[in-house]
Amino acid sequence: MRGMWSGLQALILNDCPYAYYIHCCAHRLQLALVKASKQVVPISHFFLTLLFLIRIVNASCKRNEQLKVASANEIARLIDLEELETRSGLNQISTLQRPVETRWSSHFRSVSSLLRMFTSTAKVLQNIIDDAIDEEHRAEEKSAYDGLTSFEFVFILHLEKETMEITDKLCQALQSQSQDILNVMHLVSSTKALIQKFRDDGWDGLLTTVISFCEKHCIDVLDMNAHYIARQGRAHAMELLRLSSALEPQEALKSFRSSDLCLLVMNFYPQDFIDYDKQVLEKEFYHFEHNVVQDPEFKKLKISTATTKRVFSAMKVVKTNLRNKMENDFLTDSLMLYIEKDIASTFSLDSIVDDFEDLKER
């Protein structure tokens, strides 16, 4: 749209040099909201799960038809129980709607459609799992079903629905072809006030709705009165110290604690390991325990932690902020030279140059 050479802006300016381009305020707001929401891990995870669910259910015409049939049956059941009103325009049968990043209102429609067809979606997913052609597809679809029926997903689903109901009117006004700036300013003010009111007084009502929904759909509810264990501050530090003690070489001689090492990775260093490494880590510890720790020769070793402590001290000097992209091999060689600098100082520079020259013809 706003490309300087071949965009619509450039084409119009070629014919009308006095025209000027203003980026759509609604799109700017939408992109800012999407970016902000992705910074909150549970919200970002919620929308990823939502997209995953919609992709699976809308993967074929057959599944779409199954969803429509299940929705029709559910509507008929609720009407028989007198839980739904019946009049013209109500209880329309539709499909799950996919959210679009440039339209925040589409997120509201997507959340609302899933909430409205939650029971039908769960039934269709169960049918898909039963009809899976192989274990790989069954595992993928079971993951989607487990995500749908988790308390965290249901809670955020209701939270997003309540929040987006408040902001939807403002979004619609910003996307209107005929802008009424005064009306938009009033909506900004009222939207902020309603969000603050929901933040101050809406918790009890939201939690009651979520618990009722979970009980209706046989979803396990978390115990809100359970004792909360803080994961920051002193408790966080104490847990780190306790788990780190599993790295002490003497601990391997006494009782190798692979479970503590796995927790250390998951809770404190998740970004340092890829997902595959995390999955196979526990089995690798089992191999290490069987092949190394239980080896008779290993048990005879007299272990000192002095070298380990020297390495960690040296690492602060060698791997600084300016060298944060240093590869492991280069870091190891640099640490070795720094730690054993007394030995390295005895080497002649000329001998090192000669050895390097003899390694390979350049």
pLDDT in tens, 304-315: 556 566 666 777
Per-residue pLDDT for 22 more than 50? yes
Domains of the chain: which residue ranges? Answer: 31-216, 233-299, 306-359
Per-residue pLDDT for 141 more than 80? yes
Buried b vs exposed e over 314-334: b needs ≥16 C-beta within 10 Å? beeebbeeeeeeeeeeeeeeb
For the chain, what percent of residues have pLDDT higher than 90?
A: 3
Q: What is the pTM of this model?
A: 0.57
Written as six digits, the tokens of 2 are: 């706003």
How much is the average pLDDT of 51-80?
83
d(CA 264, CA 234): 16
How much is the average pLDDT of 24-40?
73
For the chain, what percent of residues have pLDDT higher than 70?
A: 79
d(CA 139, CA 78): 32
pLDDT at 301: 65
pLDDT at 310: 65
How much is the average pLDDT of 108-131?
87
**Residues 148/152/154/159 CA torsion (nearest 10 deg):** -140
Per-residue pLDDT for 210 more than 80? yes
For residue 154, the tally of other CB atoms under 10 A from its CB is: 20
d(CA 76, CA 96): 19
Written as six digits, the tokens of 237 are: 């530090």
pLDDT at 103: 67
d(CA 205, CA 213): 12
8 Å CB contact between 328 and 287: no
d(CA 353, CA 317): 26
How much is the average pLDDT of 39-67?
85
**Residues 96/101/106/110 CA torsion (nearest 10 deg):** 30
How much is the average pLDDT of 342-362?
77
pLDDT at 235: 52
Give the tens place of pLDDT for each residue, 159-204.
988 888 888 888 778 777 676 778 888 888 898 899 899 988 888 8
Per-residue pLDDT for 117 more than 70? yes
Strand partners, 100: 103
d(CA 289, CA 283): 10
User: Residue length, the chain?
Assistant: 362
Give the tens place of pLDDT for each residue, 246-297.
666 665 556 667 788 788 788 777 777 777 777 788 788 777 777 776 777 7
